[in-house]
């Protein structure tokens, strides 16, 4: 039996803060776009399906970035990747201020997705190598940064829409990215073990424990894809707008912000697979109810309640990925995780939008919840009988 994890030194907590801040800024821009999709649809005359295509483009571009470039962070390039990601994000957001066509929006959203996919692996690797005895707690703190940005983004975007119009949030976020660049250039140097080989990240897919973790992550993010493509449109159709959507997504993320560090500690103590499967499984089952709960208030209440499960499931799933591989392969594994996140979201974002467009909210949310639960169940099957990387020889 392994000894319990020690308490993380305060100096390590402060060292993680810059990475948390960059995660917050990146996710704020994504969250802000989600909040205004319903208003954007009406302002530019897009269909529900076209909104789904725009959302899917962002997910697929992030997938390409993470699956092809994440391993570079294991070679010490994480800071450069974060700087480049912030710069590309600024360009994409400036583009959104001016484009009117579906093609233009698909291009800008794809650029923004690629930028996030480029920056995330190095940021996540920094959290996992900072203190190997407390990976769960560190990952939980990084999740706090990510979700805090996602909470702030929708509210900021909604207020700018109300005050200045539909284009204003994108201009504000673009300027913010430019101002933020000097901070990113001063990110601390990654002190973890560097991978000096030329191994492909795909070789890690032979690890059964990693397979299980990736299936759980992919299943969870199928729900995220449906939330991003359907929830803003559903809220708009029920009489809401950017402000109501922003408030809803903010309330969804609040439990994640407050509970993620504790979720990481629990994952370190009980084992990440158990916490991840229970947490994400509960969220997937609750997703099936959204289409059958009327109005705006009660769906938001359900989102807040199951935000608790989100906090534990989402955090523990990331810890499970990290614990499945050795230190020098962290970014490669976390890049695979990021690729699976956006691929899972892309797989369901457009189908959910199509079903919503054709058959309404009930069937769309049933599709989302059932598909998600099926992948999480498969992940649970692959986890059985496996051990973390600390008890296995390093992969070649």
Is 326 within a domain?
A: yes
Give pLDDT tens digits along the chain (396 positions): 344 444 444 545 567 788 888 888 888 888 788 778 778 888 888 888 888 888 889 888 988 888 888 888 888 788 888 889 999 999 999 999 999 899 999 999 999 999 988 888 878 787 777 776 677 778 878 888 887 887 788 788 888 888 888 889 999 999 988 988 888 887 776 666 666 666 777 888 899 999 999 999 999 999 888 887 888 888 888 888 777 777 777 777 788 778 888 888 898 888 899 999 999 999 999 899 988 888 888 888 888 887 888 889 988 998 899 889 887 888 888 888 888 888 888 889 889 989 998 999 999 999 999 999 999 999 999 999 888 876 444 433
The secondary structure of residue 74, as a DSSP letter, is G
Is 173 within a domain?
A: yes
Is 258 within a domain?
A: yes
Is 85 within a domain?
A: yes
Domains of the chain: total:
1
CATH of the domain at 100: 1.20.1250.20
pLDDT at 195: 65
| 3-class DSSP state of 14 | helix
Nearest to 19 by CA among 171, 154, 127, 160: 127
Is 279 within a domain?
A: yes
Q: 369 vs 123, 359, 381, CA distance in Å? A: 30, 16, 19
DSSP string, 172-204: HHHHHHHHHHHHHTTPPPP-SPP--S---GGGG
pTM attached to this predicted model: 0.73
pLDDT at 377: 96
pLDDT at 196: 65
Using CA atoms, how far apart are residues 123 and 78, in angstroms rounded to an integer?
A: 7
Is 83 within a domain?
A: yes
Quote the domain boundaries for residue 31. 12-184+202-389
Is 191 within a domain?
A: no
Count of CB atoms situated within 10 Å of the CB of 367: 23
Using CA atoms, how far apart are residues 394 and 6, in angstroms rounded to an integer?
A: 24
Phi-psi region at 385: left, alpha or beta (left = phi > 0; alpha = psi -120 to 50): left
Is 275 within a domain?
A: yes
DSSP H stretches of helix in 185-241: 208-237
Using CA atoms, how far apart are residues 305 and 286, in angstroms rounded to an integer?
A: 10
220 touches 280 (CB < 8 A): yes
| 3-class DSSP state of 182 | helix
């Amino acid at each position: 039996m392994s000894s319990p994890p020690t308490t993380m030194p305060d100096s390590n907590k402060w060292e993680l803060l810059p990475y948390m801040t960059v995660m917050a800024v990146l996710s704020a821009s994504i969250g802000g776009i989600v909040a205004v999709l319903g208003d954007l649809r009406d302002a530019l005359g897009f269909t529900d399906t076209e909104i789904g295509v725009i959302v899917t483009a962002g997910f697929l571009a992030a997938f390409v970035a993470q699956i092809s470039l994440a391993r570079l962070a294991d070679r010490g390039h994480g800071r450069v990747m974060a700087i480049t990601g912030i710069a590309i994000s600024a360009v994409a957001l400036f583009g959104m201020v001016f484009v009117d066509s579906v093609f233009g929006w698909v291009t800008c959203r794809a650029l923004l997705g690629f930028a996030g996919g480029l920056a995330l692996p190095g940021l996540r690797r920094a959290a996992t190598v900072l203190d190997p005895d407390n990976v769960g707690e560190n990952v939980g703190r990084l999740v706090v940064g990510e979700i805090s940005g996602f909470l702030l983004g929708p509210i900021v975007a909604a207020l700018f829409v109300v005050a200045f119009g539909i284009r204003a949030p994108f201009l504000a976020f673009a300027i913010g990215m430019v101002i933020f660049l000097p901070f990113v250039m001063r990110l601390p140097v990654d002190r973890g073990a560097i991978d000096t080989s030329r191994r492909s990240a795909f070789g890690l897919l032979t690890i059964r424990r990693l397979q299980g973790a990736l299936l759980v992550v992919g299943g969870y993010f199928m729900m995220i894809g449906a939330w991003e493509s359907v929830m803003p449109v559903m809220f708009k159709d029920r009489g809401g707008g950017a402000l109501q959507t922003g408030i809803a997504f903010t309330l969804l993320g609040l439990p994640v912000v407050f509970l993620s560090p504790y979720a990481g500690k629990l994952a370190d103590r009980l084992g990440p697979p158990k916490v991840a499967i229970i947490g994400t499984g509960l969220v997937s089952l609750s997703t099936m109810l959204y289409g059958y709960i009327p109005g705006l208030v009660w769906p938001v209440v359900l989102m807040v309640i199951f935000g608790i499960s989100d906090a534990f499931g989402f955090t523990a799933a990331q810890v499970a990925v990290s614990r499945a591989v050795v230190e020098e392969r962290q970014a490669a594994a976390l890049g695979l995780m990021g690729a699976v996140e956006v691929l899972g979201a892309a797989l369901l974002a457009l189908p959910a939008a199509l079903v919503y467009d054709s058959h309404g909210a009930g069937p769309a949310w049933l599709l989302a919840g059932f598909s998600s639960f099926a992948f999480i169940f498969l992940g649970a099957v692959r986890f059985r009988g496996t051990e973390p990387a600390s008890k296995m020889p390093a992969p070649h």
